Structure 1
Protein backbone atom coordinates (compact mmCIF):
# COMPACT_ATOMS: atom_id res chain seq x y z
CA UNK A 1 0.00 0.00 0.00
CA UNK A 2 1.42 3.38 -1.03
CA UNK A 3 1.34 5.94 1.74
CA UNK A 4 0.09 9.44 0.89
CA UNK A 5 2.79 12.12 1.07
CA UNK A 6 2.96 13.79 4.46
CA UNK A 7 1.71 17.34 4.70
CA UNK A 8 4.36 19.98 5.45
CA UNK A 9 3.31 22.92 7.62
CA UNK A 10 5.21 26.12 6.87
CA UNK A 11 5.11 29.67 8.13
CA UNK A 12 4.21 32.26 5.49
CA UNK A 13 7.79 33.58 5.61
CA UNK A 14 9.18 30.06 5.25
CA UNK A 15 6.91 29.34 2.26
CA UNK A 16 8.08 32.53 0.56
CA UNK A 17 11.72 31.67 1.33
CA UNK A 18 11.27 28.20 -0.21
CA UNK A 19 9.71 29.76 -3.32
CA UNK A 20 12.64 32.19 -3.66
CA UNK A 21 15.10 29.32 -3.22
CA UNK A 22 13.28 27.33 -5.91
CA UNK A 23 13.50 30.30 -8.31
CA UNK A 24 17.24 30.64 -7.56
CA UNK A 25 17.80 26.92 -8.16
CA UNK A 26 15.87 27.10 -11.44
CA UNK A 27 18.11 29.98 -12.56
CA UNK A 28 21.19 27.93 -11.54
CA UNK A 29 19.84 24.99 -13.56
CA UNK A 30 19.44 27.15 -16.66
CA UNK A 31 23.02 28.38 -16.29
CA UNK A 32 24.37 24.88 -15.60
CA UNK A 33 22.54 23.57 -18.67
CA UNK A 34 24.01 26.36 -20.81
CA UNK A 35 27.55 25.67 -19.54
CA UNK A 36 27.13 21.92 -20.05
CA UNK A 37 25.92 22.49 -23.60
CA UNK A 38 28.94 24.70 -24.35
CA UNK A 39 31.33 22.13 -22.88
CA UNK A 40 29.77 19.32 -24.89
CA UNK A 41 30.15 21.33 -28.10
CA UNK A 42 33.79 22.21 -27.45
CA UNK A 43 35.00 19.00 -25.80
CA UNK A 44 36.68 16.47 -28.06
CA UNK A 45 37.65 14.23 -25.14
CA UNK A 46 34.78 12.00 -23.99
CA UNK A 47 36.58 11.48 -20.67
CA UNK A 48 36.70 15.22 -19.92
CA UNK A 49 36.46 15.60 -16.11
CA UNK A 50 35.11 19.15 -16.45
CA UNK A 51 32.24 17.77 -18.48
CA UNK A 52 31.57 15.08 -15.87
CA UNK A 53 31.68 17.68 -13.08
CA UNK A 54 29.20 19.85 -15.00
CA UNK A 55 26.85 16.87 -15.47
CA UNK A 56 27.08 16.03 -11.75
CA UNK A 57 26.37 19.64 -10.77
CA UNK A 58 23.36 19.74 -13.09
CA UNK A 59 22.02 16.52 -11.56
CA UNK A 60 22.47 17.92 -8.03
CA UNK A 61 20.57 21.07 -8.95
CA UNK A 62 17.78 19.04 -10.56
CA UNK A 63 17.49 16.91 -7.40
CA UNK A 64 17.31 20.04 -5.21
CA UNK A 65 14.60 21.53 -7.47
CA UNK A 66 12.60 18.30 -7.29
CA UNK A 67 12.89 18.30 -3.49
CA UNK A 68 11.77 21.94 -3.24
CA UNK A 69 8.86 21.43 -5.65
CA UNK A 70 7.72 18.35 -3.74
CA UNK A 71 7.92 20.20 -0.41
CA UNK A 72 5.96 23.17 -1.76
CA UNK A 73 3.34 20.86 -3.29
CA UNK A 74 2.71 19.33 0.14
CA UNK A 75 2.86 22.65 2.00
CA UNK A 76 0.13 24.31 3.93
CA UNK A 77 0.72 27.69 5.52
CA UNK A 78 0.25 27.93 9.26
CA UNK A 79 -2.45 30.53 9.83
CA UNK A 80 -4.21 29.61 13.04
CA UNK A 81 -2.74 28.50 16.30
CA UNK A 82 -4.91 25.97 18.07
CA UNK A 83 -3.46 26.30 21.55
CA UNK A 84 -2.47 29.90 22.20
CA UNK A 85 -0.05 29.96 25.10
CA UNK A 86 1.71 26.74 24.12
CA UNK A 87 4.58 26.21 21.72
CA UNK A 88 3.42 25.12 18.26
CA UNK A 89 4.86 25.36 14.77
CA UNK A 90 5.46 28.98 13.88
CA UNK A 91 5.89 30.09 17.49
CA UNK A 92 8.67 32.51 18.31
CA UNK A 93 10.03 31.39 21.65
CA UNK A 94 12.40 33.09 24.04
CA UNK A 95 14.42 30.53 25.97
CA UNK A 96 16.69 31.11 28.92
CA UNK A 97 19.65 28.78 29.37
CA UNK A 98 19.37 28.05 33.09
CA UNK A 99 23.14 27.60 33.46
CA UNK A 100 24.42 30.66 31.58
CA UNK A 101 21.29 32.79 32.16
CA UNK A 102 21.50 33.85 28.49
CA UNK A 103 18.34 34.31 26.45
CA UNK A 104 17.83 33.27 22.87
CA UNK A 105 14.89 33.84 20.54
CA UNK A 106 14.09 31.10 18.05
CA UNK A 107 11.24 30.14 15.78
CA UNK A 108 9.88 26.59 15.78
CA UNK A 109 9.39 25.35 12.22
CA UNK A 110 9.13 22.14 10.20
CA UNK A 111 12.35 20.42 9.10
CA UNK A 112 12.13 21.55 5.44
CA UNK A 113 11.74 25.17 6.54
CA UNK A 114 14.60 24.96 9.05
CA UNK A 115 16.93 23.78 6.27
CA UNK A 116 16.40 26.88 4.10
CA UNK A 117 18.77 29.79 4.68
CA UNK A 118 17.64 33.35 5.29
CA UNK A 119 15.15 34.96 7.61
CA UNK A 120 15.49 37.18 10.61
CA UNK A 121 15.46 34.61 13.42
CA UNK A 122 17.30 31.37 14.03
CA UNK A 123 14.94 28.50 13.26
CA UNK A 124 14.71 25.23 15.14
CA UNK A 125 13.12 22.18 13.56
CA UNK A 126 10.31 20.56 15.51
CA UNK A 127 12.25 17.31 14.91
CA UNK A 128 15.49 18.54 16.53
CA UNK A 129 16.27 17.64 20.16
CA UNK A 130 15.36 21.14 21.37
CA UNK A 131 12.31 21.33 19.09
CA UNK A 132 10.93 17.99 20.31
CA UNK A 133 11.27 19.12 23.93
CA UNK A 134 9.73 22.53 23.21
CA UNK A 135 6.52 21.47 21.46
CA UNK A 136 3.48 21.92 23.71
CA UNK A 137 5.39 23.76 26.46
CA UNK A 138 4.02 26.86 28.20
CA UNK A 139 5.70 30.00 29.47
CA UNK A 140 7.59 29.28 32.71
CA UNK A 141 8.14 25.59 32.02
CA UNK A 142 11.65 24.17 32.12
CA UNK A 143 13.03 21.22 30.19
CA UNK A 144 16.30 19.41 29.72
CA UNK A 145 17.88 18.62 26.36
CA UNK A 146 20.36 15.77 26.07
CA UNK A 147 23.10 16.76 23.66
CA UNK A 148 25.03 14.34 21.46
CA UNK A 149 28.20 14.77 23.54
CA UNK A 150 26.40 13.46 26.62
CA UNK A 151 25.92 16.88 28.19
CA UNK A 152 22.58 18.26 29.23
CA UNK A 153 21.24 21.78 28.91
CA UNK A 154 18.32 23.07 30.94
CA UNK A 155 16.11 25.74 29.37
CA UNK A 156 13.20 27.80 30.65
CA UNK A 157 10.49 29.05 28.29
CA UNK A 158 10.28 32.75 29.10
CA UNK A 159 8.04 33.97 26.26
CA UNK A 160 5.89 32.61 23.42
CA UNK A 161 4.68 34.79 20.52
CA UNK A 162 2.92 34.18 17.24
Structure 2
Protein backbone atom coordinates (compact mmCIF):
# COMPACT_ATOMS: atom_id res chain seq x y z
CA UNK A 1 0.00 0.00 0.00
CA UNK A 2 1.50 3.30 -1.11
CA UNK A 3 1.38 6.78 0.27
CA UNK A 4 -0.83 8.17 -2.45
CA UNK A 5 -2.23 11.60 -1.76
CA UNK A 6 -4.78 13.44 -3.85
CA UNK A 7 -3.32 16.43 -5.68
CA UNK A 8 -3.48 19.68 -3.75
CA UNK A 9 -5.84 22.38 -4.88
CA UNK A 10 -4.22 24.89 -7.21
CA UNK A 11 -3.22 28.08 -5.43
CA UNK A 12 -3.46 31.52 -6.96
CA UNK A 13 -0.21 32.67 -8.50
CA UNK A 14 -0.28 36.18 -7.07
CA UNK A 15 1.71 37.71 -4.23
CA UNK A 16 2.31 41.21 -2.91
CA UNK A 17 5.78 42.72 -3.08
CA UNK A 18 6.06 42.42 0.72
CA UNK A 19 5.16 38.74 0.63
CA UNK A 20 7.63 38.07 -2.19
CA UNK A 21 10.42 39.76 -0.24
CA UNK A 22 9.56 37.75 2.89
CA UNK A 23 9.63 34.44 0.98
CA UNK A 24 12.85 35.36 -0.83
CA UNK A 25 14.50 36.35 2.46
CA UNK A 26 13.46 33.01 3.99
CA UNK A 27 14.94 31.14 1.03
CA UNK A 28 18.24 33.04 1.31
CA UNK A 29 18.40 32.47 5.08
CA UNK A 30 17.74 28.73 4.76
CA UNK A 31 20.24 28.25 1.94
CA UNK A 32 23.06 30.59 3.03
CA UNK A 33 22.85 30.47 6.84
CA UNK A 34 20.78 27.64 8.32
CA UNK A 35 21.77 24.79 5.95
CA UNK A 36 25.56 25.34 6.31
CA UNK A 37 25.16 25.42 10.13
CA UNK A 38 23.20 22.16 10.19
CA UNK A 39 25.56 20.54 7.67
CA UNK A 40 28.52 21.38 9.91
CA UNK A 41 26.71 19.98 12.97
CA UNK A 42 25.94 16.74 11.09
CA UNK A 43 29.57 16.50 9.99
CA UNK A 44 30.76 16.88 13.60
CA UNK A 45 28.20 14.34 14.85
CA UNK A 46 29.25 11.85 12.16
CA UNK A 47 32.87 12.14 13.26
CA UNK A 48 31.91 10.84 16.73
CA UNK A 49 31.48 7.31 15.47
CA UNK A 50 28.46 5.01 15.41
CA UNK A 51 25.78 6.82 13.45
CA UNK A 52 22.96 4.36 14.13
CA UNK A 53 22.59 5.44 17.77
CA UNK A 54 23.86 8.99 17.44
CA UNK A 55 20.87 11.24 18.20
CA UNK A 56 22.65 14.41 17.09
CA UNK A 57 23.45 12.87 13.72
CA UNK A 58 19.92 11.50 13.21
CA UNK A 59 18.28 14.79 14.23
CA UNK A 60 20.67 16.79 12.04
CA UNK A 61 19.88 14.64 9.00
CA UNK A 62 16.17 15.12 9.68
CA UNK A 63 16.69 18.89 9.87
CA UNK A 64 18.57 18.83 6.58
CA UNK A 65 15.70 16.98 4.89
CA UNK A 66 13.20 19.54 6.20
CA UNK A 67 15.38 22.47 5.09
CA UNK A 68 15.88 20.94 1.64
CA UNK A 69 12.13 20.31 1.28
CA UNK A 70 11.34 23.93 2.18
CA UNK A 71 14.08 25.27 -0.13
CA UNK A 72 12.69 23.21 -3.04
CA UNK A 73 9.17 24.47 -2.34
CA UNK A 74 10.25 28.12 -2.07
CA UNK A 75 12.39 27.93 -5.21
CA UNK A 76 9.59 26.45 -7.30
CA UNK A 77 6.95 28.77 -5.86
CA UNK A 78 9.02 31.95 -6.32
CA UNK A 79 9.63 31.04 -9.97
CA UNK A 80 5.93 30.41 -10.54
CA UNK A 81 4.26 33.44 -8.89
CA UNK A 82 3.40 36.90 -10.18
CA UNK A 83 4.27 39.89 -8.01
CA UNK A 84 1.51 42.50 -7.86
CA UNK A 85 3.40 45.69 -7.11
CA UNK A 86 1.12 48.46 -8.26
CA UNK A 87 -2.05 50.06 -6.99
CA UNK A 88 -5.06 49.66 -9.31
CA UNK A 89 -6.36 52.73 -11.13
CA UNK A 90 -9.84 52.31 -9.60
CA UNK A 91 -9.12 52.49 -5.87
CA UNK A 92 -12.82 52.45 -5.04
CA UNK A 93 -13.11 48.79 -6.01
CA UNK A 94 -11.74 45.77 -4.13
CA UNK A 95 -8.85 44.12 -5.95
CA UNK A 96 -5.85 42.03 -4.89
CA UNK A 97 -3.84 43.75 -2.15
CA UNK A 98 -6.70 45.88 -0.84
CA UNK A 99 -7.42 46.50 2.82
CA UNK A 100 -11.17 46.04 3.17
CA UNK A 101 -13.23 47.02 6.21
CA UNK A 102 -16.53 45.18 6.50
CA UNK A 103 -19.39 45.32 9.01
CA UNK A 104 -21.82 42.55 9.90
CA UNK A 105 -25.50 42.78 10.96
CA UNK A 106 -24.58 43.96 14.49
CA UNK A 107 -22.21 46.65 13.10
CA UNK A 108 -19.12 44.74 14.24
CA UNK A 109 -16.31 45.90 11.99
CA UNK A 110 -13.47 43.74 10.74
CA UNK A 111 -10.52 44.71 8.56
CA UNK A 112 -8.83 42.32 6.15
CA UNK A 113 -6.17 42.50 3.45
CA UNK A 114 -6.57 40.29 0.41
CA UNK A 115 -3.21 38.65 -0.30
CA UNK A 116 -1.78 35.55 -1.95
CA UNK A 117 -2.17 32.12 -0.34
CA UNK A 118 1.51 32.09 0.68
CA UNK A 119 1.14 35.25 2.77
CA UNK A 120 -1.66 34.40 5.18
CA UNK A 121 -0.76 34.33 8.84
CA UNK A 122 -2.29 33.56 12.21
CA UNK A 123 -3.23 37.18 12.96
CA UNK A 124 -6.32 36.74 10.81
CA UNK A 125 -5.98 40.11 9.09
CA UNK A 126 -4.42 38.70 5.94
CA UNK A 127 -6.82 36.47 4.00
CA UNK A 128 -6.08 34.45 0.91
CA UNK A 129 -7.50 35.59 -2.40
CA UNK A 130 -8.72 31.99 -2.71
CA UNK A 131 -10.83 32.15 0.48
CA UNK A 132 -14.63 32.31 0.20
CA UNK A 133 -14.76 35.77 1.84
CA UNK A 134 -12.12 37.23 -0.50
CA UNK A 135 -13.87 35.78 -3.55
CA UNK A 136 -17.09 37.47 -2.48
CA UNK A 137 -15.33 40.79 -1.81
CA UNK A 138 -13.43 41.05 -5.10
CA UNK A 139 -14.82 43.75 -7.42
CA UNK A 140 -17.13 45.14 -4.72
CA UNK A 141 -17.32 48.82 -3.82
CA UNK A 142 -18.13 50.75 -0.64
CA UNK A 143 -21.75 50.14 0.29
CA UNK A 144 -21.99 46.77 -1.51
CA UNK A 145 -23.22 43.76 0.43
CA UNK A 146 -21.84 40.23 0.43
CA UNK A 147 -23.40 37.04 1.73
CA UNK A 148 -21.41 34.07 2.97
CA UNK A 149 -22.81 30.64 3.65
CA UNK A 150 -21.69 29.09 6.92
CA UNK A 151 -20.96 25.37 7.19
CA UNK A 152 -24.26 24.86 9.01
CA UNK A 153 -26.15 26.22 5.98
CA UNK A 154 -27.08 29.63 7.40
CA UNK A 155 -25.98 32.86 5.72
CA UNK A 156 -24.09 35.78 7.17
CA UNK A 157 -24.29 39.25 5.69
CA UNK A 158 -21.51 41.86 5.45
CA UNK A 159 -21.36 45.38 4.07
CA UNK A 160 -18.20 46.92 2.62
CA UNK A 161 -17.40 50.01 4.73
CA UNK A 162 -13.97 51.09 3.45
CA UNK A 163 -11.36 50.16 0.86
CA UNK A 164 -7.72 51.21 1.15
CA UNK A 165 -4.51 50.46 -0.72
CA UNK A 166 -0.97 50.76 0.62
CA UNK A 167 1.66 52.27 -1.68
CA UNK A 168 4.24 49.75 -2.87
Question: Same fold judged by TM-score > 0.5?
Answer: yes
Q: Which string of whole-angstrom CA distances, capped at 9 and with x for unpartnered residues, describes residues 43-68 of structure 1?
A: 41424344333212211111111111
Give, in whole Å, the separation in 2 of the partners of 1:16 and 1:106. Answer: 20
Q: Where in structure 2 are there 5+ consecutive unaligned residues?
A: 1-9
Equivalences, count = 154
Look up the match of 1:105. Answer: 111
* Pick aligned residue for 1:124 from 127, 138, 150: 127
Residue 20 of structure 1 pairs with residue 25 of structure 2:
yes
Give, in whole Å, the separation in 2 of the partners of 1:66 and 1:45. Answer: 27
Residue 89 of structure 1 pairs with residue 96 of structure 2:
yes
- The runs of at least 4 aligned residues of structure 1 exceeding 4 Å deviation read 148-152
Give, in whole Å, the separation in 2 of the partners of 1:160 and 1:19. Answer: 28
CA shift in 2, pair 1:97/1:35, >3 Å: farther
Residue 68 of structure 1 pairs with residue 68 of structure 2:
no
1:7–1:76 Cα contact (<8 Å) kept:
no
Give, in whole Å, the separation in 1 of the partners of 2:45 and 2:138. Answer: 51
Q: Where in structure 1 are there 5+ consecutive unaligned residues?
A: none
Give, in whole Å, the separation in 1 of the partners of 2:161 and 2:74. Answer: 34
CA shift in 2, pair 1:123/1:44, >3 Å: same
Look up the match of 1:36. Answer: 42
Q: Which string of whole-angstrom CA distances, capped at 9 and with x for unpartnered residues, describes residues 4-48 of structure 1?
A: x98722211111111222223222222222222222121414243
Shift of 1:143: 1.6
Over the residues paired in the alignment, what is the CA RMSD in angstroms?
2.8
Shift of 1:113: 2.4
Look up the match of 1:46. Answer: 52
